[in-house]
Amino acid sequence: MKIDTSPYVQFAKETLGLEFKNIEVLITAFTHRSYVNEHKKTVQEHNERLEFLGDAVLELAVTRYLYSNFEEPEGILTNWRSALVRTESIGAAAVRLDFEKMLRLSRGEKRGSDRARQQILANSFEAVIGAIYLDQGYDTAEKFITDHIVSTLPTILESGSWRDSKSYLQEVAQEKDGQTPIYKVLSEDGPDHDKIFTLGVFIGNQLKGSGSGSSKQAAQQKAAEEALKYYDEMK
């Protein structure tokens, strides 16, 4: 059965501002592996190869922008780049562009968790970058990245969210209290394949913040962010 390409042509023109020479590559960028598994007779390709390509283009474009526009040392630029290209940042860009309505997912994935959907959206954003690069060339892909990712840098810098929260908390805690933060697991919920960890960060014997995530490392970062708010309020 031949797919109706018109919604993707319209989306490319109205949302992405592009006219694709090969609209099929954009459709593939929105095609999740689960959809292929559910439609094996009619669909052969999912978006993971495009995601692999788009990830590299995204990193190069962001790196090039930061290198060309700032004189900061390598460590600072690395942290800024990480903040710009992390899952939360590119997933948010996909939400702003309303990518979700274009995704081709299995029935099961459509009912998936919010966390799983955020990852799918982030992956599709990278895949779309890959599709733009293949169809339109590097310069067009770079402009797309500049418009929708690099443009968020002022907000990231103003909020300080580019800093590694654990490292920064350790600096602050040692300066203010002469203590090194200690992280402890408070709870674990959910099945093994979709577990949520909640960790607390203790300064001395006091709980200063807690956070949840799909890994202990992610939960530690959230807990550190909460603890930093405590120190900000003390200023």
Catalytic: 55? yes
Catalytic option among 51, 55, 142, 225 = 55
Residues 6+ away with beta carbon under 8 Å from 200: 183, 184, 186, 207, 209, 210, 223
Q: What is the DSSP string of 99-163?
A: GGGG-B--HHHHT--HHHHHHHHHHHHHHHHHHHHHHH-HHHHHHHHHHHTGGGHHHHHHHTTTS
| Residue of 55, 54, 34, 56 whose CA lies nearest to 43 | 34
Catalytic: 139? no
- Distance in angstroms (rounded) separating the CA atoms of residues 226 and 170: 13
Residue pair 29/46 in contact by the 8 Å Cβ criterion: no
Catalytic option among 51, 109, 126, 225 = 126
Active site residues: 55, 126
